[in-house]
Amino acid sequence: MILHRLSIRTLLLFTTAGITVIMGIILLVTNASIHSSIGNYTTLSRIDHLAECALRLRKNEKDFVKLDTKNPEFFATGQSRYVAEFDSILAITRSTIAELKANDAFASTELQADMAAMQQGLNGYSRSFKQLVSLVRVVGFKDEGVVGSMRKAIHEVEGELKKGSSYELMTDMLMLRRHEKDFMLRNDTTYLSKFKGQMAAMLTKVKSPTMVGLLQNYQKYFEEYVALGVKVGLNDNGGTSATMNSFADSFEQALNHARLQVKEHEQSRSNRSLFVLFAVIILLSSLVAAILLLTSSHILKSIKKLQGYIMRLGKGELPQAMAVEGSDEIAAMESSLNKLIGALSNTRDFAVEVGNGNFEANISVFDNSGEVGESLLEMRNKLSQVAQERHRQEEDSRIRLWINEGITLVNDIVNKGKDDIEELCNEFLTGVVKYSGLNQAGIMLEEKDDDEVSYLRMVATYAFDRRKYYQKRVELGDGLAGMCFWEKETIYITNVPSDYSPIASALGEASPRCVVVIPLIVDSMAIGVMELASFRVFEKVEVELFERAAGILAARLLGLRTSIATARLLEQTKMQAQELAAQEEELRQNLEELHATQEAFEHREELLHQQMADMESQIEQVRNEANTERANFLERIAVHKRTIDAFGEAFLLAEFDLKGNLEWANSRFCQTFGVDLDFIELFNMILCEHVINKEEELKRWEALRRNEAYVGPLFLFVGTRTVHLTASYQPVRGVEVKGSHVFFSAAVVGESFESDVTPSHKPATVTFETADS
């Protein structure tokens, strides 16, 4: 088949080109149909616009009849907004009819007849409306037109009736006016005959020629109004209104008939366009479906073949490689699928090797390149690392378990409650040596001789030859033990000296291969060393166990030493208590001697009490005399206070420090200077704004600081008045500081009221009003 010779890309290109051509044809047909529909829509829109114009014409007609017939401005000027708008819409309507008449859609004879009928009806309607406007203006309203003339005639009749004061004629006139109003409101000719009958009856009763002439004039205008009303139309079925409505109905009927004809014509054209469009679409769609069917059947056949192999791969099967035919994209996919099958086979073999624990097996998946090949290679390497890491963790767990069990053993030994240090150390060495498989061990603790010299003494050993190699005392800094104690660090030796203590057995003696010396440290303080030896080299974890065990033992030994020292202190305390008892007996004897001495003192105390009683009577006498003198003094003070109060009512009194700060003032001073008693400490005499001559005031205070008094006039400006004072500034000598206070006293000499004087301007001439003036 020729399709096998073409690639999928070429087939898709051909298919796309064919579909594009078909879609282009469909678009052209659709475009023609749309343009036709748009033309039809435009024609119908114009007809609808014409109908809208007709409605607007009728609306302006109704608005004119309803509003402008009662608008005085229309009757005065002849201008109407509704008439102007009617003319504007009428011009638009005629223009639209002319455009439609020239349209091809109106070429038929029937539509041309409708257009002629519309023009005829529109012209007649516009003429009737113009005639109606003219008649309405002639009829008039209020003071305009026939209505205005009739109202004037009525007022003349009523004025003449008032002169005659005839109640019967006035009643007839009211009835006449009633018939007139009924006719004007209802447009009913029945009231016209009633009006004429009432007028005839009234004329027979009137004797005055003037009244007869006025009534006939009134009747003439009313009959003229009736004639105009008949011409306009008393209702929609008569007069100009009926003619206008007839032309309007004719125009609307022709318009509706034309719209119906155009709509049917356009609907027919639209149906034909849609039929052609659907026919073309169906035909071309069938062609597209045939092309797609041929192309897809070829592609699907090849894809189903691939699908079968891929589904088998999805189920976990590894089929044989498929035969590759052709050179298109499907053939390339088949070749790639064969490569995938080969790579999956290699992956299966690698998985089997990994499952067997062979993490070093060779793998070749996609030549170990690409994401899958590189990921599998990386997985093999990581699995190998995981296996090694797991082995290392198991080894670490075993070591931690061994250390924890050893620490538990050591804790059990040191917590048995042994109070003897040597016995505790021997049990400790036995447990550690047996648990660790050592060959030789010893513990040396720090002690002091009679000269307070520290040294290390062997308190416990294991497997040492005491007869030959046991050394009871080691000086600090000597040998491995002394160096370890001095430096407080573990000593680890694998090259053991030849003179080191050999390890004996039933077969003979031999030197150890490894020696570890560990300090016994508690809170950075060394209390001894532990020495361990073995035929094998100690591992790092064993040394760690020995160091932790040494720390536990050191803490326990320090506690035992503390307990022993505490027991010694208790013994010393008992001895001291006995000594204190002896001293207490000695104190008791001394106390008896003190009692004898106290009796002698009591006798002397009685004599002193007698003397004190005599002195108290003398003091009471002096106190009475002092109270009498105090009462006299208080009376004198009260007299002085009344004198000062009376003096304060007439004089200004105050006390300042040497800086001018007010410390105390009487009410007269506060009133004159305007000082608030609650804020008295804020007032400063030097800075007072009421003082007129501030330079002189400043000089006065400088003299006061030199202990120089001042007595003289003082001018103040308070509000709108100038106050003249005779003031006295007296420095008061303090107890410690000379001139520490200033006593101020002043008397008001006179006051003057000058509205133009301000505190910053001293008046050139001042006139005072005194008590004498």
SS3 571: helix
- pLDDT of residue 771 exceeding 50, the answer is no
Task: Evaluate whether 759 touches 674 at the Cβ level (below 8 Å).
Answer: no
Per the CB < 8 A criterion, the answer to whether 399 and 541 are in contact is yes
- Please enumerate, as own/partner, the contacts of 495-502 that have beta carbons within 8 Å and a separation of 24 or more: 496/533, 500/533, 501/440, 501/464, 501/465, 501/469, 501/533, 502/465, 502/469
In the structure encoding, which two tokens stand for residue 232, read together? 């306009």
Structure tokens at 366: 């996609």
Give the span between the Cα atoms of 582 and 577, in whole angstroms: 9
Question: Which three-class secondary structure state does DSSP give residue 444?
Answer: strand
Nearest Cα to Cα of residue 766 among 756, 755, 751:
751
- Structure tokens that stand for 511 in this block: 């030197």
Contact criterion met (CB below 8 Å) for 675 and 669:
yes
Collapsing DSSP to helix, strand or coil, 770 comes out as: coil
Between strands 662-665 and 710-718, the pairing is unpaired
Rounded Cα gap, residues 240 and 233, in angstroms: 6
Percent of the chain with pLDDT over 70: 81
For the domain spanning 51-139+242-260, the CATH number is 1.20.1440
At 163, the amino acid letter reads: K
Which pLDDT score is estimated for 713? Answer: 94
Sign of CA dihedral 334, 336, 339, 341: negative
pTM beyond cutoff 0.85: no
The confidence score (pLDDT) of residue 767 equals 34
Task: Report the alpha-carbon distance of residue 365 to residue 363 in Å, rounded.
Answer: 6
Q: 154 with 178: CB under 8 angstroms?
A: no
CA dihedral angle for residue 665, residue 671, residue 677, residue 681, rounded to 10 degrees: -60
Range 665-670 average pLDDT: 88
User: Pairing mode, if any, of strands 652-657 and 662-665?
Assistant: antiparallel
Distance between CA atoms of 251 and 168, rounded to whole angstroms?
56
Tokens of 597: 């001495």
| Average pLDDT, integer, range 446-470 | 73
* Rounded alpha-carbon distances, angstroms, from residue 506 to 85, 439, 440, 512, 729: 145, 14, 15, 16, 125
Give the contacts of 46 (CB within 8 A, at least 6 positions apart): 96, 99, 100, 103
Q: Record the tokens describing residue 325, joined without a space.
A: 């035919």
Element (H, E) at 531: strand 525-534
For residue 2, the model assigns a pLDDT of 53
Among residues 274, 254, 269, the alpha carbon closest in space to that of 51 is found at 254
Q: Take residue 318 and report the two structure tokens written for it.
A: 């590894």
- Sign of CA pseudo-dihedral 378, 384, 386, 389: negative
- Tens of pLDDT, residue by residue over 560-581, are 888 888 888 888 888 888 888 8
Of 770 and 501, the one with more pLDDT: 501
Dist CA 500 CA 533 (whole Å): 10
What is the band of 8 on the pLDDT scale with cuts at 50, 70, 90?
low
517: burial class by Cβ within 10 Å (0-12, 13-18, 19+)? Answer: buried
CA end-to-end distance (rounded Å), the chain: 150
Cα distance between residue 762 and residue 759, in whole Å: 7
Mean pLDDT lowest for which of 34-43, 121-130, 386-395, 482-491?
A: 34-43
Residue 763 has pLDDT above 60, yes or no: no
CB atoms within 10 A of CB 609: 9
Any idea what DSSP says for residue 537? P
* pLDDT tier for residue 117 given thresholds of 50, 70 and 90: confident
Q: Count the helices and strands in the chain (H runs, E runs).
A: 16, 13
Q: How far apart are CA 57 and CA 502, in angstroms?
A: 141
- Residue 194 CA from chain centroid, whole number: 87
Query: What single-letter DSSP state applies at residue 78?
Result: -
350-405 pLDDT per residue, tens: 777 676 766 666 666 666 666 666 676 677 677 777 777 777 888 888 888 888 88
Give the number of other Cβ atoms within 10 Å of residue 68's Cβ: 20
Q: Report yes or no: 456 and 443 within 8 Å, Cβ to Cβ.
A: no
pLDDT at 644: 67
pLDDT digits (tens, 9 = 90+) for 214-258: 888 888 888 888 888 887 777 767 777 888 888 888 888 878 887
Tokens matching residue 407: 């620490």
Q: Which amino acid is residue 108, in one-letter code? A: S
Under DSSP, the state recorded for 271 is: H
Mean pLDDT of 550-568: 84
Strands of 75-116, DSSP E: none
Q: Residue 57 has what pLDDT?
A: 84
- C-alpha torsion 36→42→48→54, nearest 10: -140
- CATH number of the domain located at residue range(s) 651-753 in this protein: 3.30.450.20
Q: Which CATH number fits domain 419-559: 3.30.450.40, 3.10.129.10, 1.20.120.450, 3.90.850.10?
A: 3.30.450.40
- Pairing verdict, β 514-522 and 508-510: unpaired
pLDDT at residue 467 in the model: 34
